[in-house]
Structure 1
Amino acid sequence: MSRHDDIKLLRINYLRGPNMWTYRPVLETWLDLGDLENHPSHLLPGFTERLTQRLPALVEHHCGVGERGGFLQRLTEGTWMGHVMEHVVIELLNLAGMPTGFGQTRSTSQTGVYRMVFRARDEQVAREALAQGHALLMATINDQPFDVDAAVHAIRDKLDDCYLGPSTAAIVAAATDRRIPHIRLNDGNLVQLGYGGRQRRIWTAETDMTSAIAEGIARDKDLTKDLLKSVGVPVPAGQAVKTAEQAWDVAQDLGLPVVIKPSDGNHGRGVTLDLRRQPDVEAAFHLADAEGSEVLVESYIPGMEHRLLVVGGQVVAAARGEEAWITGDGTHTVIELIDLQINTDPRRGLTEDFPLNRIDIREDAVVLLELQRQGLTGDGIPEAGRRVLIQRNGNVAIDCTAQVHPEVAHAVSLAARTIGLDIAGVDLVTSDIGKPLSETGGAIVEVNAGPGLLMHLKPAEGMPQPVGQAIIDHLFAEDENGRIPIVGVAGSKGTSQVSRLVAWLLHLNGRHVGLACGDGLFLGTRRVERKPSAHWAASHRLLMNRSVDAIVVENSAGIILSDGLAYDRCQVGVVTDMGRVPELDNHDIQTEDQLYKVLRTQVDVVLADGAAVLNADEPRLVEMAPLSDGEVLFYALDAGNAALVDHRAKEGRCVFLQGGAAVLAQGSSETSGANVDSLRARFKAAGQDVAADAVLAAVATAWALGISPELIAAGLDTFVPELPH
C-alpha cells in the first residue's frame, strides 16, 4: 500500500483557563491532514482493525453516538483523521493514568485543516500525549510497527515529573469539591488555594499557617521530647550521644532493649529498634550518625508503630504498621525471598502511588543490620520453615482511625499543639491503639511537620480517610471559598474605560482593587505598569497578589482565543459588543456565530451568586442571558428597548439613559443615578471620547456588585479622566 505523508501540526496552543471549548484548560492543535483529507477511516484498508488492536479500549469511547462503541461506529462508517487523532490522544492519556473525557475536532475555513482540542490538566503532559498520539496514528495508517506500551510509559513519566504529588493532589481535589479555585505556583507542590487576599497556600501537607519555629522544633527530636514531657505526654526516656561507646553506656543506663535513631531524620531512615547487644548498639549508632547531626538513644517501647494525623488540633486519621517477615525454604537467598514473598505484594512499589515501599536491602542499611543480628546476609539461604524478620518499621499503612481511644487522641492532639504545628504526623508506639497509653505503656516517639498523606488516602488495609477535606476545612471556614469579587469585561469597544470606571467605584467602596486593562496594570489607584495589560499574564499576577480583595480584568475575544480566561469563575461578567478585533482572523473566527461562541465564555463563568451585565442594544448579547448561572442586568441607551421592557416586566434589573443621567430600574422602581453627560464632557475636555453605553455598562456592573446608586453617582462625579501622554 502507498505511504501517506505525516499529518502536519501547524499550531499548538495551550489554553490555560476557560475558553470557547470548555471551562477547563485544553491543548488546541491545528492539523493539516494533507492527502489524508481524501482518505477517511473507511477508505484506509485494515486501518480500523489495526487501530483497535493497538488500542482495544477505544470501544469504550461514546463519541457523538452517545453510547459505548460509538467511536468504533464512526470509524467503520468513515471519519476524518483529525477526529481519530483526538480519540487516540485521549485513550493514551487514559492508559497513562490521566483520565480525559473531553475532546473536540472542528474544521476550519481551509480545506483539510482542523482544530483539535482535548482536556489537559498539564501542558507538558498534553504535549507528550499529542506527540505520541501523532506517531501512533501515522504508524497505524501506514501499517508500521509501534510500541504502545513505550508511548504510554513516556506519557506516564512526564505525568510523574509534572503532576502534583498524591498528598497535594488530594488537598486540591478537596478544594475543588468546595468550589475553591487553585493556582500552582511552581513545578512542585506549592499551590495557592483561593484568589487575592483570601488565598491560602499549601506545600504538600504544610500550610501558610504552619510555624517555621514549630518545624524547627519537630526536626529536633530531643527538643520535641523535652517539650512533650513537660506537658505530661508520655515519651520514651533517652539521651543524645556523640560516640558509639557513649551509646552503649547510655543504653545500659536506660536499660536494654533500646532504640537508636538520628535526631533530625525522617521516614524512619537510620532508626534501629529492639537493640540488646553492644555490637548491635554500636553498629546502629553509625547508621544513625550517617543520617543526622545528632544521635539519640531511647528506651524501647514494645508494640506496633502508629501514625496519627492531626489537623487543626483534631485527630483525623490513624494508621498502624506491621513487621515484614520472610519464611525460608532452604533454596532461595534472603534477597530472593524478599522479592518472592514481600515485593510481589501489589501494594508495594517505587512511587508515591503505592502505600508500601519495595524493600531493597542493598539500599537499606537498617535491614542489613537486622539480618546481621539474626546471623544472616542478603545472600544467605535460610533453612526451610525459618521465619526471618526483615523490617520492624516503615510499613505503616493499615487504617485504624475508628479504633483510636479518646485519651490517645487527646495526647496526640496535645503533642501537636505543644510543638505548635497546625498539621502534624504524630508517631507513637503502643500494643493497642484502642486503650489509653497509660494502660499499654505506649509513648509518642516523634512529631513530624509536613506529614505524607498517602497512608491515609490509600491504606494497604482498611478504609481511606478524607484527609484532604479535613485540611481544606481547617484552612477555610464552612462559608468561605477563597474567592474575591472578580469582574471580567469582554468586548471590543470601550472596555478599558468600563474597566477603569468599575475599578474606581470599587475603590470608593472600600476595596483594594487590582486592575488589568489596556491602560496598564493598577494596584489601587497606583499604576504599576504602563504597558497594555489586558492579557492573561497580568490578570494571573493579580490573582496571586495577597494585597488585592477585588479584581477587574479587561478581556478581548483575542485573549480568550489565545490563552483563555485567567480565572475559573467571576462575580460579574460584562459583554459590551460583538465587534471584530484583528486577532479574530488569526484564529479563523469569521462569522458572528463563531464570535458569539468565543464571547459567551465570559458569561459562562459567572457564579451563581453573581451577575452577567449585557448590552441589550445588541440582540446577540441578549441571547446570552440564559447562559448566566447568576442574575442578568441589561443596559441600553433607550428605556423603550424591547429586551429592557421584557426584563423589567420579570422584575429584572436594568440601566438606561434618560435626560443625560443613568437610571437604575427594577420592575416599576426607578432610581436616577450617575450624571453620564457630565462625565462624558470631562472625558472630552481631557481629549478623550467615552461612549454613553460604556458608562452605562460601568454603572450596571457597580450595581451588580452591590454598590449603592448614591455611591455610583458620587463616584462618577469624582472620576478624573487622564490627560493624553
Structure 2
Amino acid sequence: MTFLRVNYLRGPNLWTYRPVVEAWVDIGELEDFPSNTLPGFYERLTAWLPGLIEHRCGVGERGGFLLRLREGTWPAHIMEHVAIELQNLAGLQAGFGKARSTPTRGVYKLAVRARNEQVGRAAVEASRQLVMAAINDTGYDVAAAVATLRGLVDDHHLGPSTACIVDGATERRIPHIRLTEGNLVQLGHGRAQRRIWTAETDQTSAIAEGISSDKDLTKRILASVGVPVPEGEIVETAEAAWEAAEDIGLPVVVKPTDGNHGRGVSMDLKTREDVLAAFEFAARHGSEVMVERCIPGNEHRLLVVGGRVVAAARGETAWVTGDGKADVRALVEAQINADPRRGTTEDHPLNYLRIDEDTAILNDLARQGLTPDSIPADGRRVLIQRNGNVAIDCTDAVHPDVAALVGLAARAVGLDIAGIDVVAEDIGKPLEAQGGAVVEVNAGPGLLMHLKPANGPGRPVGRAIVDHLFPDGESGRIPLVGVTGSRGTTRVARLAAALLGMAGRHVGLANRDGLFLERRRIDAGDGTRWEAGQRLLINRSIDCAVFEHSAERILDEGLVYDRCAVGVVTDSEGLAMLAPWHIAEPEHLYNVLRTQVDVVQDDGAAVLHAADPQLVEMAGLCDGAVILYALDGTLPALAEHRAGGGRALFARDGQIVLARGEVEQWIAPLPAGLDAVDAAGTLAAVAVAVHFGAVVEMIAAGLEAYND
C-alpha cells in the first residue's frame, strides 16, 4: 500500500466538524483481497489490538467493526480503525473515522480524527505498517508503536492542565486556538477572547505572581488580613537558622523563600545538626532561606478559582516497614513504587520515589540513622517522604471556614487562580481550633492531582476555570460570516464587510484580496488561507469578521472557524476544478459546499442563492434560519420559502426587496451597471446585513458609498 497524500485538515471539512488527518492510499492488488480472503489476518489483528472490539463501525453496536472484518472489508477501512485505536492507546481519544473509495480503482481516501497533527500523522503511518504486517504475517511491535505515539503526545500535545481547560471550553462550545507549540491557548475569538497558559489566565496579575513567589512577603500579607500562617523568619547563615529555630520553638521547617514544588524543604527538624544541614539544602534551591514553625498535620492543596474553592487534595507521608532482610532501596521498590498509581505519565497520580536522587529523602533517612543501603529491623517503620504525595481528593470534606480563609488568601495575594497549601490535622474543622495554617500560595498551580487523584473522584477543574473566565451568557464568540462558492465570492465578502462596518462594527475581512482590519489592508497575500484567517481571529480589535472560502480551500485545509453566525453559498459550480481532489460528481461538490451551512450556529442564518436548485436543497441542513436570495423574485423556491415564513431578497424594478410571507420592504436601489453575478452577490451581502439587524437607511447609504 502506498500513500499518495497525507494532509491535516485543521477546521470543519468534508468529513466532520473536527480536525482530521486525511490520507489518500493506493492499496494496489489488495483491491482484489478483502479481509475475509486473507488467511490468519483477523486473528493477528485482533490479537495485537483487542480494543478493536469496542469499535462499532457502521453496524452501530459493540463488535461492529470485527463483524465487518469477518465479512470482508478493504485495507483503507481497516487502517482507519487501527489509526483510531493506536491514538486511543496513546492517550488521545479519537472516535471518528471514515474511508471512501474514489473513482480511481484501488485508491481510497480515509480520514481519522486527530487532536494533534503530529500524533495523527504518525498514527496513520503506523496503521499502514501494522495492517501490512498482519497481512504478511511478519510480526509487529504494538507496544513500541504506542510508546512512540505517547512520546509524540508528550512532545507536541497540550499538557494535562491546559488540555482540561480546553476540554471545559469545548463543553461550553467556546472555540479555542493554540497560539504556540506550548500551552498558550486562546479561548474565544477577537474582542471576546481570553487567554490561558496552563493554569494562568490573562487575569493573573504579574504582581500577584511576584508576591506568591516570595514566601515571606506572602505570609506577611496573609497575616495582615487574618489568615493563620506559621511564625517564621528569613536567615542568612546556618547558625542564624538554629538561633531562629530556638526562638520559634522546635520542631521547625527550613525552606527556600522562592522555591516551588517542595524543592529544598526540610520538615519536622528537632536538632541543631538537622537544622544546619537543612539550611545548606534550602540554600541550594533558592535565593534566601526561611525558618518557620512546623505545623502538625497533613499537607493539603486547595484549588481556588475566582475566590472559590473548586477542588482539594490531601497528602500523606510515605513509609516502608522493614523485614530484617531487604535494604531501604528494595523496600521502597516493593512497598511504594509497586503501587500501580505511581508512574511517569499523566495517567499516574503519584510519581515514583527515587531515593538515591532525592536529597530530601536522603536527609530524612539520615535523621533516622539510615541510608538507602541500610536493612531496617523486622517491623521497623521508616519514613521515606513527608510531602509530595498530595493526591487524595478531599473536596467534599473542606470546612466552610477553611474555604473562606483560602479564598481570602487568594484575593489578598491577588491571584484569580491559586493553589493554596494548608497544613492541618483535619481539613473538615476550622484551622484555628487545631493550630492549622496556610503555608504557601502558588500561582499557576498544577491541576493533575485534582483531575486524576490517587483516591476519590476527579474534579471538573477545567470547566470551573472556563466558567470563571466566561460567566453565564458569555460564549467567547464574535459574529463570523463565511462566504463560499466559485463566482463573485470576493466581492460578496468585501461588500458584506463594508455594510457591517457602516453599521458600527469593527470588522476584519479575509478574502482573495488580502487581510483587512476595517478599511485598512494589512496583508496583500491570499487571505483565504487558513493561517491568514487565524490572524483575524486572534486580533483583539475586531468584534466581527468575514471570510471567503473556496471549495479547494475547504478540501485542503478546512474552515478557519468551528461555527459561524452567517454562512453564504453563492453557487454550486466549479466541479471541473476539483478533479485533483477526486471530486467528480455534483453530489460530491454538494458535500463540500454544505460544510459552510453545517457550521451555522443555531441563532445564525444560511444565505443561499435560490436560483441554484442544489443550494435550495441545502437549506434543510441549516441549524439556524435560512435567507434565500435571487434576482428573479418569481422563482418558485422563493415563493415556497416565503409561504413558510422565511425571509427572501430579490430585485424588482431596480430595487432590492426584502420579503417575509406577504410582507415586503423596499431596501435600496440595486446599484446600476452590475453583471448578473455581482448583482446577485449584492443581494447576498445585503442579506448578511439584514440578519445582523442593519437598518434600511444604513444599507442604502452603504451601497451608495461602496467602491469596489
- TM-score class, shorter-chain normalisation, is over 0.9
Q: Distance between the aligned counterparts of 2:39 and 2:228, measured in 1?
A: 75
The answer for the alignment partner of 1:4 in structure 2 is none
The whole-number CA distance in structure 2 between the counterparts of 1:453 and 1:54 is: 34
The answer to whether the Cα contact below 8 Å between 1:557 and 1:581 also exists between their aligned partners in 2 is no
Cα distance change of structure 1 residues 562 and 582 upon mapping to structure 2, 3 Å threshold: farther
Letter in 1 for 2:691: A
The within-5 A match list for 1:177-196 is 177-196=171-190
What SS does the aligned partner of 2:337 have?
coil
Quick one: which of 64, 67, 85 aligns to 2:61?
67
Aligned to 2:702: 715
Distance 2:448 2:69 in 1: 41
- Cα distance in structure 2, aligned partners of 1:447 and 1:676: 65
- Partner residue in 2 for 1:705: 692
**1:261-410 matched pairs, under 5 angstroms:** 261-410=255-404
Aligned with 2:137 (options 137, 140, 143): 143
Partner AA of 2:437 in structure 1: A
Matched position secondary structure for 2:186: strand
Is the contact made by 1:611 and 1:632 (CA closer than 8 Å) also made in structure 2? yes
Q: Partner residue of 1:630?
A: 624
Which residue in 1 is equivalent to 2:543? Answer: 549
Shift of 1:46: 2.1
Query: Equivalent residue for 1:3?
Result: none
Aligned partners of 1:164 and 1:60: how far apart in 2?
A: 26
Matching residue within 514, 520, 524 for 1:520? 514
Shift of 1:411: 1.5
What pairs up with 1:82-481 in 2 under 5 angstroms? 82-481=76-475
Q: Which residue of 2 aligns with 1:57?
A: 51
Mapped to 1, the partners of 2:168 and 2:266 lie a distance apart of 37
Query: CA separation in 2, counterparts of 1:125 and 1:272?
Result: 41
Q: Contact between 2:355 and 2:362, CA under 8 Å: does it hold in 1? A: yes
- 1:111 and 1:259 map into 2 onto residues whose CA distance is 74
Distance 2:314 2:240 in 1: 33
Moved more, 472-481 or 245-254: 245-254
Q: Verify the 8 A CA contact 2:597 2:606 in the aligned structure 1.
A: yes
Q: Deviations over 1:633-680 (max 9, x none)?
A: 0001111111110111111111001111110111111111122134x4
- Looking at structure 2, the residues matched to 52 and 410 of structure 1 have their Cα atoms a distance apart, in angstroms, of 54
Task: Select which of 582, 592, 598 maps to 2:586.
Answer: 592
Q: Is the 8 A contact 2:576 2:584 kept in 1?
A: no
Counterpart residue type for residue 154 of structure 1 = T
Q: Point out 4+ residue stretches in structure 1 off by more than 4 angstroms.
A: none
Following the alignment from structure 1 to structure 2, what is the Cα–Cα distance between the partners of residues 441 and 337? 34
Cα drift, residue 254 of structure 1: 1.4
| AA of the residue aligned to 2:3 | L
Q: Is the 8 A contact 2:209 2:443 kept in 1?
A: yes
Structure 1 residue 559, shift from structure 2 partner:
0.4
Question: Closer, same or farther in 2 for the Cα pair 1:410/1:70, shift >3 Å?
Answer: closer
Give the distance between the partners of 1:81 and 1:675, measured in 2 at CA.
59
Q: Distance in 2 between matches of 1:392 and 1:52?
A: 46
Cα deviation per residue 1:484-536 (whole Å; 9 max; x = unaligned)?
Answer: 00000000111010000110111111111110001111001101112221221
- CA distance in 2 between partners of 1:300 and 1:58 (Å): 54
Matching residue's letter, 1:378: P
**1:15 matched residue in structure 2:** 9
Tell me by how many angstroms 1:345 deviates. Answer: 1.5
**Matched residues in 1 for 2:657 and 2:580: separation?**
40
Instruction: Between 102-111 and 17-26, report the one with greater CA deviation.
Output: 102-111
Contact 1:572–1:705 (Cα < 8 Å) also in 2: no
Q: Deviations over 1:94-119 (max 9, x none)?
A: 22222322111111121111111111
Could you tell me how far apart the structure 2 residues matched to 1:161 and 1:393 are? 28
1:45 CA drift (Å): 2.2
Instruction: Please list the CA deviations of residues 382-432 of structure 1 after superposition, one character each: whole Å capped at 9, or x if unmatched.
Output: 011001111111111122222222222222111111111011111111112
Letter matched to residue 108 of structure 1: T
Distance 1:572 1:327 in 2: 68
CA distance in 2: counterparts of 1:72 and 1:411, whole angstroms: 56
- Mapped to 2, the partners of 1:76 and 1:405 lie a distance apart of 58
Say whether residues 1:676 and 2:670 are aligned partners.
yes
Q: Offset of 1:11 from its aligned partner?
A: 0.4
Which stretch of the first structure deviates more once superposed, 558-567 or 300-309?
Answer: 300-309
Is the 1:225–1:235 contact (alpha carbons within 8 Å) kept by the matching residues of 2? yes
**Cα shift readout 1:19-62 (whole Å, capped 9, x = no counterpart):** 01111111111111122222222222222222222222323322
- Does the alignment pair 1:486 with 2:480? yes
Q: Residue deviations 1:273-296, cap 9 Å, x none?
A: 110111111111111111111111
Given that 2:575 and 2:586 are in contact with CA atoms closer than 8 Å, whether structure 1 keeps it comes out as: no
What is residue 490 of structure 2 aligned with on the other side?
496
Tell me which moved more, 291-300 or 51-60: 51-60
Secondary structure at the aligned position of 1:310 is classed as: strand
Supply the distance in 2 between the matched residues of 1:77 and 1:441 (Cα, whole angstroms).
Answer: 70
Q: Judge conservation of contact 1:497–1:690 (CA < 8 Å) in 2.
A: no
Query: Counterparts of 1:113 and 1:709 in 2: how far apart (Å)?
Result: 53
Which whole-Å deviations, capped at 9, do the CAs of 1:305-346 have from their partners, x for residues lacking one?
A: 111111111122221111111100111111111111111122
Q: Which amino acid aligns with 1:268?
A: G
Of 506-515 and 405-414, deviating more is 405-414
Q: Secondary structure at the match of 1:342?
A: helix
- 1:526-537 counterparts in 2 under 5 A? 526-537=520-531
CA distance in 1, matches of 2:577, 2:521: 26
Q: Secondary structure at the match of 1:637?
A: strand
Shift of 1:538: 0.8
CA deviation after TM superposition for structure 1 residue 690, in Å? 6.0
Larger displacement relative to structure 2 (481-490 or 657-666)? 657-666
Confirm or deny: 8 A CA contact 1:219 1:448 kept in the other structure.
Answer: yes
Q: State the identity as a percent.
A: 62
Query: Shift of residue 182 of structure 1?
Result: 0.7
Aligned residues: 708
- After superposition, give the CA deviation of every residue in 1:319-374 in whole Å (9 maximum; x if it has no partner): 11111111001111111111111111222222233222211112210011000000
User: Which deviates the most, 599-608 or 183-192?
Assistant: 183-192
TM-score w.r.t. length of structure 1: 0.96
User: Match for 1:559 among 542, 545, 553?
Assistant: 553
- Matching of residue 693 in structure 1 with residue 693 in structure 2: no
Letter in structure 1 aligned against 2:287: S
Give the Cα separation in 2 of the matches to 1:524 and 1:173.
Answer: 33
Post-superposition shift, 1:204?
Answer: 0.8
Distance across 2 between alignment mates of 1:456 and 1:72: 37
Provide the rounded CA distance (Å) in 2 between the counterparts of 1:267 and 1:38.
60
Q: Structure 2: which 5+ residue stretches go unaligned?
A: none
Amino acid at match of 2:123: A
Native 8 Å contact 1:228 1:234 kept in 2: yes
Shift in Å at residue 583 of structure 1?
4.8
8 Å CA contact retained: 1:613, 1:701? yes
